[in-house]
Amino acid sequence: MRFTTLLVVSLTACGTDPVDPDDQPVNCAEETRDDEFAAGLAKSGSGGALGFTLMTAEPAFPIRGDNTWVIQVNQMSGGVAGAPVDGADLQVTPFMPDHGHPSGKTVTIEPTGTAGEYELAPINFWMPGMWETTIDAASPSGNDVVVFRVCIPS
């Protein structure tokens, strides 16, 4: 009697273990969907109720791994940022749209002590490619959602 052993090997780009960045080169100079990422980047929420400004980022340009951002949330009126929003309930979700997966780490949100400012950490971009960080805000001034888009090079 003869037995045959079949070995199936599955390779995946998005498993629980990060893939070696050399396996899938990412040239962010060719990416057109990302934001011009820099301190001072201001975006209105999709509903127009709130505005979101990136005050600081550590490191200054997002890297593969853990990042820390400080954002300011403001009321919006006619497309103009108004009063800072304290006491907002924020949910922050880094997501890799091309691969269909989140970061895997929970982002902690802490008020900084400056009106309307919140520290977000860690924002973990664990592999190279296009990332969208969605900030969903609920506040007495209104509810809104904004997406910051960054490309992490290999």
Q: What mean pLDDT is predicted for residues 78-103? A: 95
**Residue 85 pLDDT:** 97
Domain ranges in the chain? 35-152
Q: What is the pLDDT of residues 94-124, one digit of tens each?
A: 999 999 999 989 999 999 999 999 999 999 9
The predicted pLDDT at position 25 comes to 87
Q: Phi/psi at 30 (nearest 5 deg)?
A: -95, -5
For 27-63, give the DSSP string: -GGG--SS----TT-EEE-TTSSEEEEEEEEESSS--
Structural class in CATH, domain 35-152: mainly beta
Q: Which residues contact 82 (CB under 8 A, 6 or more apart)?
A: 74, 75, 76
High-pLDDT (> 70) share of the chain, %: 85
Is residue 23 over pLDDT 70? no
